[in-house]
Copies of this chain bind each other. A is one copy, B any other.
Amino acid sequence: MDAKQTPRLIDIAAKVGVHPSVVSRTLRQDPTLSIRPDTRERIEQTARQMGYRGNAQARALRGASTGAVGMVMPSLRNPVWAEIVRGVLAEAVRWNLAVLVAEVPDDRGNDEEYVRLVEEGRIDGLLLGSSEPAERSSAWPPTQVPSVHVNRAVKDAACNITMDETRAVGLFVDHLTALGHRRITLIDGPATVDTTHRRSVALQRLGEERGLEVQIVNAPYNEQGGHDAMARLLRRAAKQRPTAVGVASLNQALGALAATRTRGVAVPSDLSMICLDDDPILGFLDIQLTAVRMPLFELGEAAMQALGERLSGGNPLSREIEDPIELVGRSSTASVPVR
Protein backbone atom coordinates (compact mmCIF):
# COMPACT_ATOMS: atom_id res chain seq x y z
CA MET A 1 0.00 0.00 0.00
CA ASP A 2 2.31 2.65 1.26
CA ALA A 3 4.98 2.77 -1.39
CA LYS A 4 6.94 4.97 0.95
CA GLN A 5 10.57 4.20 0.32
CA THR A 6 12.08 5.13 3.62
CA PRO A 7 10.16 6.08 6.72
CA ARG A 8 10.77 9.59 7.96
CA LEU A 9 10.43 11.10 11.36
CA ILE A 10 7.20 12.70 10.27
CA ASP A 11 5.73 9.35 9.25
CA ILE A 12 6.25 7.93 12.68
CA ALA A 13 4.89 11.04 14.30
CA ALA A 14 1.77 10.81 12.20
CA LYS A 15 1.23 7.19 13.04
CA VAL A 16 1.73 7.69 16.75
CA GLY A 17 -0.25 10.91 16.72
CA VAL A 18 2.43 13.12 18.14
CA HIS A 19 4.68 15.94 16.94
CA PRO A 20 7.79 15.01 14.94
CA SER A 21 10.08 16.80 17.34
CA VAL A 22 8.91 14.56 20.15
CA VAL A 23 9.83 11.53 18.09
CA SER A 24 13.20 13.02 17.34
CA ARG A 25 13.97 13.74 20.95
CA THR A 26 12.76 10.36 22.09
CA LEU A 27 14.75 8.42 19.57
CA ARG A 28 17.88 10.49 20.20
CA GLN A 29 17.48 9.87 23.93
CA ASP A 30 17.36 13.54 24.79
CA PRO A 31 17.83 13.61 28.59
CA THR A 32 16.08 16.97 28.97
CA LEU A 33 12.92 15.50 27.54
CA SER A 34 10.25 14.33 29.89
CA ILE A 35 7.70 12.08 28.36
CA ARG A 36 5.05 9.64 29.49
CA PRO A 37 6.44 6.10 29.53
CA ASP A 38 3.64 4.75 27.40
CA THR A 39 4.09 7.47 24.75
CA ARG A 40 7.78 6.72 24.61
CA GLU A 41 6.98 3.06 24.32
CA ARG A 42 4.60 3.63 21.43
CA ILE A 43 7.11 5.81 19.61
CA GLU A 44 9.94 3.37 19.99
CA GLN A 45 7.83 0.46 18.93
CA THR A 46 6.45 2.21 15.87
CA ALA A 47 9.94 3.32 14.85
CA ARG A 48 11.18 -0.22 15.15
CA GLN A 49 8.34 -1.73 13.24
CA MET A 50 8.56 0.81 10.43
CA GLY A 51 12.29 0.25 10.27
CA TYR A 52 13.17 3.85 10.90
CA ARG A 53 16.80 4.76 10.29
CA GLY A 54 16.92 8.48 9.85
CA ASN A 55 18.23 10.30 6.86
CA ALA A 56 21.98 10.68 7.12
CA GLN A 57 22.14 13.74 4.89
CA ALA A 58 19.53 15.67 6.80
CA ARG A 59 21.20 14.87 10.07
CA ALA A 60 24.55 15.90 8.67
CA LEU A 61 23.13 19.17 7.38
CA ARG A 62 21.41 20.00 10.60
CA GLY A 63 23.90 18.67 13.07
CA ALA A 64 27.63 18.81 13.06
CA SER A 65 28.52 15.35 11.91
CA THR A 66 28.10 13.22 8.83
CA GLY A 67 28.63 9.82 10.35
CA ALA A 68 31.23 9.04 7.73
CA VAL A 69 35.00 9.08 7.62
CA GLY A 70 37.52 8.92 4.82
CA MET A 71 40.33 6.42 4.44
CA VAL A 72 43.18 7.34 2.14
CA MET A 73 46.04 5.02 1.24
CA PRO A 74 48.48 4.51 -1.61
CA SER A 75 47.15 1.28 -3.10
CA LEU A 76 44.86 -1.58 -2.27
CA ARG A 77 47.06 -3.74 -4.45
CA ASN A 78 49.56 -3.71 -1.64
CA PRO A 79 48.35 -6.51 0.67
CA VAL A 80 49.62 -4.56 3.65
CA TRP A 81 47.20 -1.72 2.99
CA ALA A 82 44.40 -4.07 2.07
CA GLU A 83 44.69 -5.66 5.49
CA ILE A 84 44.90 -2.34 7.29
CA VAL A 85 41.77 -1.17 5.49
CA ARG A 86 40.03 -4.35 6.57
CA GLY A 87 40.77 -3.49 10.17
CA VAL A 88 39.47 0.02 9.62
CA LEU A 89 36.22 -1.25 8.12
CA ALA A 90 35.68 -3.69 10.96
CA GLU A 91 36.16 -1.05 13.64
CA ALA A 92 34.08 1.51 11.76
CA VAL A 93 31.10 -0.80 12.00
CA ARG A 94 31.43 -0.69 15.79
CA TRP A 95 31.39 3.10 15.75
CA ASN A 96 28.48 3.18 13.36
CA LEU A 97 30.51 5.07 10.84
CA ALA A 98 30.55 4.68 7.09
CA VAL A 99 33.92 4.62 5.37
CA LEU A 100 34.75 6.40 2.13
CA VAL A 101 37.83 4.90 0.57
CA ALA A 102 40.22 6.65 -1.79
CA GLU A 103 43.48 5.59 -3.33
CA VAL A 104 46.09 8.30 -3.60
CA PRO A 105 49.33 6.90 -4.98
CA ASP A 106 52.44 8.23 -3.31
CA ASP A 107 53.93 9.39 -6.57
CA ARG A 108 50.99 11.51 -7.47
CA GLY A 109 50.89 15.09 -6.29
CA ASN A 110 47.20 15.12 -7.04
CA ASP A 111 45.25 14.52 -3.88
CA GLU A 112 42.08 15.93 -5.32
CA GLU A 113 40.03 12.98 -4.18
CA TYR A 114 40.36 13.28 -0.47
CA VAL A 115 40.32 17.05 -0.62
CA ARG A 116 36.96 16.78 -2.27
CA LEU A 117 35.67 14.47 0.42
CA VAL A 118 36.66 17.00 3.03
CA GLU A 119 35.57 20.16 1.29
CA GLU A 120 32.26 18.79 0.20
CA GLY A 121 31.56 18.13 3.83
CA ARG A 122 31.15 14.43 3.30
CA ILE A 123 33.24 13.27 6.21
CA ASP A 124 33.86 13.99 9.85
CA GLY A 125 37.40 12.78 9.90
CA LEU A 126 40.20 11.30 7.91
CA LEU A 127 42.45 8.29 8.22
CA LEU A 128 45.64 9.08 6.38
CA GLY A 129 47.66 6.22 5.13
CA SER A 130 49.88 7.79 2.54
CA SER A 131 53.50 7.14 3.15
CA GLU A 132 55.23 10.07 1.53
CA PRO A 133 56.58 13.05 3.44
CA ALA A 134 54.05 15.51 4.74
CA GLU A 135 54.89 18.36 2.40
CA ARG A 136 53.19 17.00 -0.65
CA SER A 137 50.57 19.53 -1.34
CA SER A 138 49.13 22.85 -0.40
CA ALA A 139 46.15 21.36 1.33
CA TRP A 140 48.16 18.88 3.33
CA PRO A 141 47.66 17.90 6.02
CA PRO A 142 44.00 18.77 6.09
CA THR A 143 42.95 20.99 8.91
CA GLN A 144 39.22 21.14 8.38
CA VAL A 145 38.54 17.80 9.96
CA PRO A 146 40.40 15.78 12.57
CA SER A 147 42.72 13.24 11.08
CA VAL A 148 44.73 10.28 12.27
CA HIS A 149 47.84 9.06 10.54
CA VAL A 150 47.98 5.33 10.00
CA ASN A 151 51.26 3.46 9.90
CA ARG A 152 53.14 6.68 9.74
CA ALA A 153 54.73 8.90 12.33
CA VAL A 154 54.22 12.46 11.16
CA LYS A 155 56.02 15.08 13.17
CA ASP A 156 53.73 17.44 15.06
CA ALA A 157 50.65 15.56 13.95
CA ALA A 158 47.82 15.32 16.44
CA CYS A 159 47.68 11.57 16.33
CA ASN A 160 49.81 8.89 14.71
CA ILE A 161 48.99 5.23 15.12
CA THR A 162 51.90 3.00 14.28
CA MET A 163 53.35 -0.41 14.84
CA ASP A 164 56.49 -1.03 16.81
CA GLU A 165 58.88 -1.34 13.87
CA THR A 166 61.78 -1.22 16.28
CA ARG A 167 60.54 -4.34 17.96
CA ALA A 168 60.02 -6.00 14.58
CA VAL A 169 63.59 -5.24 13.61
CA GLY A 170 64.68 -6.39 17.05
CA LEU A 171 63.03 -9.78 16.64
CA PHE A 172 64.53 -10.10 13.21
CA VAL A 173 68.04 -9.29 14.41
CA ASP A 174 67.75 -11.34 17.61
CA HIS A 175 66.75 -14.39 15.66
CA LEU A 176 69.67 -13.99 13.26
CA THR A 177 72.35 -13.16 15.81
CA ALA A 178 71.27 -16.18 17.84
CA LEU A 179 72.15 -18.18 14.75
CA GLY A 180 75.53 -16.50 14.59
CA HIS A 181 74.89 -13.98 11.84
CA ARG A 182 76.83 -10.74 12.05
CA ARG A 183 76.59 -9.41 8.51
CA ILE A 184 72.96 -8.56 7.92
CA THR A 185 71.21 -6.65 5.14
CA LEU A 186 67.68 -5.34 5.08
CA ILE A 187 65.99 -4.90 1.73
CA ASP A 188 63.31 -2.34 2.39
CA GLY A 189 61.13 0.13 0.48
CA PRO A 190 62.03 3.58 -0.80
CA ALA A 191 63.83 5.72 1.76
CA THR A 192 61.05 8.29 1.66
CA VAL A 193 58.56 5.89 3.16
CA ASP A 194 58.12 6.43 6.85
CA THR A 195 58.03 2.81 7.97
CA THR A 196 61.16 2.13 5.97
CA HIS A 197 62.85 5.04 7.66
CA ARG A 198 61.96 3.85 11.13
CA ARG A 199 63.19 0.35 10.42
CA SER A 200 66.42 1.72 9.02
CA VAL A 201 67.08 3.78 12.11
CA ALA A 202 66.30 0.83 14.36
CA LEU A 203 68.59 -1.47 12.43
CA GLN A 204 71.47 1.00 12.35
CA ARG A 205 71.22 1.50 16.08
CA LEU A 206 71.09 -2.19 16.81
CA GLY A 207 74.05 -2.72 14.52
CA GLU A 208 76.12 -0.22 16.43
CA GLU A 209 75.08 -1.51 19.82
CA ARG A 210 75.97 -5.06 18.98
CA GLY A 211 78.85 -4.47 16.66
CA LEU A 212 77.12 -5.96 13.63
CA GLU A 213 77.71 -5.11 10.00
CA VAL A 214 74.28 -3.97 8.98
CA GLN A 215 73.19 -2.43 5.74
CA ILE A 216 69.95 -1.10 4.32
CA VAL A 217 69.06 -1.37 0.65
CA ASN A 218 66.15 0.61 -0.72
CA ALA A 219 64.05 -0.90 -3.47
CA PRO A 220 60.58 -0.51 -4.92
CA TYR A 221 57.87 -2.40 -3.07
CA ASN A 222 57.36 -5.09 -5.68
CA GLU A 223 58.75 -8.40 -6.89
CA GLN A 224 61.15 -6.88 -9.38
CA GLY A 225 62.45 -4.46 -6.78
CA GLY A 226 63.19 -7.26 -4.37
CA HIS A 227 64.70 -9.37 -7.11
CA ASP A 228 67.06 -6.71 -8.36
CA ALA A 229 68.17 -5.70 -4.90
CA MET A 230 68.99 -9.28 -3.99
CA ALA A 231 70.69 -9.90 -7.33
CA ARG A 232 72.95 -6.92 -6.68
CA LEU A 233 73.83 -8.22 -3.22
CA LEU A 234 74.73 -11.62 -4.59
CA ARG A 235 77.02 -10.20 -7.22
CA ARG A 236 79.40 -9.11 -4.50
CA ALA A 237 82.44 -11.07 -3.48
CA ALA A 238 81.61 -13.71 -0.89
CA LYS A 239 83.34 -11.78 1.89
CA GLN A 240 81.24 -8.72 1.24
CA ARG A 241 77.97 -10.54 1.10
CA PRO A 242 75.60 -10.59 4.02
CA THR A 243 74.97 -14.00 5.54
CA ALA A 244 71.38 -13.06 6.24
CA VAL A 245 68.88 -10.81 4.53
CA GLY A 246 65.61 -9.39 5.74
CA VAL A 247 63.03 -8.28 3.24
CA ALA A 248 60.35 -5.77 4.12
CA SER A 249 57.40 -7.00 2.13
CA LEU A 250 55.90 -10.16 0.73
CA ASN A 251 56.22 -9.15 -2.89
CA GLN A 252 59.82 -8.08 -2.53
CA ALA A 253 60.57 -11.29 -0.68
CA LEU A 254 59.32 -13.43 -3.53
CA GLY A 255 61.46 -11.47 -5.95
CA ALA A 256 64.47 -11.78 -3.70
CA LEU A 257 63.95 -15.51 -3.32
CA ALA A 258 63.83 -15.83 -7.10
CA ALA A 259 67.16 -14.05 -7.34
CA THR A 260 68.82 -16.51 -4.94
CA ARG A 261 67.52 -19.33 -7.07
CA THR A 262 68.88 -17.91 -10.31
CA ARG A 263 72.18 -17.26 -8.65
CA GLY A 264 72.37 -20.76 -7.23
CA VAL A 265 72.50 -19.51 -3.68
CA ALA A 266 70.86 -21.97 -1.30
CA VAL A 267 68.49 -20.69 1.35
CA PRO A 268 69.06 -21.13 4.21
CA SER A 269 72.38 -22.99 3.99
CA ASP A 270 74.19 -20.26 2.04
CA LEU A 271 71.99 -17.39 3.05
CA SER A 272 69.29 -16.89 5.64
CA MET A 273 66.17 -14.94 4.75
CA ILE A 274 63.37 -13.36 6.75
CA CYS A 275 60.29 -11.56 5.58
CA LEU A 276 59.22 -8.63 7.75
CA ASP A 277 55.55 -9.28 7.35
CA ASP A 278 53.84 -12.59 7.55
CA ASP A 279 51.46 -14.09 5.03
CA PRO A 280 49.97 -17.55 4.67
CA ILE A 281 51.67 -17.80 1.28
CA LEU A 282 55.08 -17.92 2.93
CA GLY A 283 54.30 -21.32 4.43
CA PHE A 284 53.62 -22.82 1.02
CA LEU A 285 56.69 -21.78 -0.91
CA ASP A 286 59.46 -24.15 -1.96
CA ILE A 287 61.52 -22.55 0.74
CA GLN A 288 59.20 -21.64 3.54
CA LEU A 289 60.10 -18.20 4.70
CA THR A 290 60.53 -17.31 8.33
CA ALA A 291 58.68 -14.08 8.98
CA VAL A 292 57.88 -11.42 11.51
CA ARG A 293 54.16 -11.16 11.89
CA MET A 294 52.92 -7.56 11.94
CA PRO A 295 49.48 -6.74 13.40
CA LEU A 296 48.12 -4.96 10.33
CA PHE A 297 44.45 -5.61 10.89
CA GLU A 298 44.81 -4.47 14.47
CA LEU A 299 46.60 -1.34 13.28
CA GLY A 300 43.60 -0.48 11.14
CA GLU A 301 41.28 -1.10 14.04
CA ALA A 302 43.34 1.01 16.42
CA ALA A 303 43.53 3.90 13.98
CA MET A 304 39.80 3.87 13.41
CA GLN A 305 39.30 3.69 17.15
CA ALA A 306 41.52 6.70 17.71
CA LEU A 307 39.61 8.64 15.09
CA GLY A 308 36.34 7.59 16.66
CA GLU A 309 37.57 8.90 19.98
CA ARG A 310 38.65 12.18 18.48
CA LEU A 311 35.26 12.60 16.88
CA SER A 312 33.63 11.95 20.23
CA GLY A 313 35.59 14.78 21.73
CA GLY A 314 38.40 12.66 23.11
CA ASN A 315 42.04 13.37 22.60
CA PRO A 316 43.83 10.10 22.00
CA LEU A 317 47.58 10.40 21.87
CA SER A 318 49.85 9.07 19.21
CA ARG A 319 50.83 5.55 20.06
CA GLU A 320 52.39 2.37 18.93
CA ILE A 321 49.88 -0.43 19.16
CA GLU A 322 50.54 -3.16 21.67
CA ASP A 323 49.36 -6.10 19.67
CA PRO A 324 51.83 -8.94 19.45
CA ILE A 325 54.60 -8.85 16.92
CA GLU A 326 55.99 -12.34 16.65
CA LEU A 327 58.59 -14.29 14.83
CA VAL A 328 56.99 -17.05 12.79
CA GLY A 329 59.71 -19.65 12.45
CA ARG A 330 59.86 -21.52 9.15
CA SER A 331 62.77 -22.94 7.23
CA SER A 332 64.56 -20.03 5.59
CA THR A 333 66.92 -19.31 8.44
CA ALA A 334 69.84 -21.34 9.68
CA SER A 335 73.20 -21.00 11.38
CA VAL A 336 75.72 -18.88 9.60
CA PRO A 337 77.62 -20.96 7.05
CA VAL A 338 81.26 -21.70 7.79
CA ARG A 339 83.40 -20.56 4.90
With contacts A76-B82, A284-B223 taken as known, whether A61 is within 8 angstroms of B68 at the C-beta atoms is: no
Q: Is the CB of A284 within 8 A of B103?
A: no
For A227, the closest partner residue in chain B by CB is B284
Contacts of A147 in B (CB 8 A): none
Complex interface: chain B residues within 8 A of A53 (CB): 116, 119-120
Taking a contact as CB atoms under 8 Å apart, the answer to whether A86 and B76 are in contact is: yes
Centre residue among A77, A90, A93, A98 by max chain B CB count within 10 A: A98
Q: Report the minimal beta-carbon distance from A262 to chain B, rounded to whole angstroms.
A: 10
Which residues of the other chain, B, contact A257 by a CB distance below 8 angstroms?
284
User: Is A167 in contact with chain B by the CB < 8 A criterion?
Assistant: no
A60 within 8 A of B: yes
Say if the beta carbon of A299 comes within 8 Å of chain B: no
* A269 contacts chain B at the CB level, 8 A cutoff: no
Q: Contact check, B120 vs A54: say whether CB atoms are below 8 A apart.
A: yes
How many copies of this chain does one complex carry?
A: 2
Contact with B along A90-121 (1 / 0, CB 8 A): 10010000111111000000001100110111
Q: How far is the CA of A77 from the CA of B86 in the complex (A)?
A: 8
Interface size class of A (residues with CB under 8 A): 35 or more
The answer to whether A121 and B284 touch across the interface, beta carbons within 8 angstroms, is no
Given A55-B120, A258-B284, A281-B251, A103-B86 contact (CB < 8 Å): yes
The answer, among B57, B90, B285, for a CB contact under 8 Å with A57, is B57
Complex CA distance for A112 and B89, rounded to whole angstroms: 13
By a CB distance below 8 angstroms, the chain B residues around A132 are none
A280 lies within 8 A of B251 (CB): yes
Q: What separation, in Å, do the CA atoms of A6 and B283 have in the docked complex?
A: 52
Binary contact track A49-86/B, C-beta < 8 Å → 1, others 0? 00101111110110000111000000111010011011
Residue A286, interface by CB 8 Å: yes
Q: Nearest CB to that of A99 among chain B residues?
A: B101
The answer to whether A56 touches B120, judged by C-beta atoms less than 8 angstroms apart, is: yes
Cα of A161 to Cα of B5 in the assembled complex, Å: 27
Closest B residue to A75 by CB, please name it: B86
Would A68 and B254 count as touching, CB distance under 8 A?
A: no
Among A119, A284, A285, max chain B CB count under 10 A is at A284
Cβ-defined partner of A280 (8 Å) among B102, B119, B223: B223
- For A121, the closest partner residue in chain B by CB is B55
* B76 and A254 contact, CB distance less than 8 A: no
Q: Is the CB of A61 within 8 A of B57?
A: yes
Question: What 0/1 readout, one digit per residue, does chain A (5-46) give for beta carbons within 8 Å of chain B?
Answer: 110000000000000000000000000000000000000000
Q: Does A122 contact B (CB under 8 A)?
A: yes
The reply to whether A285 and B254 contact each other, CB–CB distance below 8 Å, is yes
Bound-state Cα–Cα, A281 to B78, Å: 12
A144 CB-CB contact with B under 8 Å = yes
Q: Can you list 12 A-B contacts (CB < 8 A)?
A: A6-B119, A53-B116, A53-B120, A57-B122, A68-B122, A82-B82, A85-B101, A99-B100, A100-B100, A100-B101, A258-B284, A261-B286
Across the A-B interface, the 7 shortest Cβ-Cβ residue pairs: A56-B120, A258-B284, A57-B60, A286-B286, A53-B119, A101-B101, A57-B61
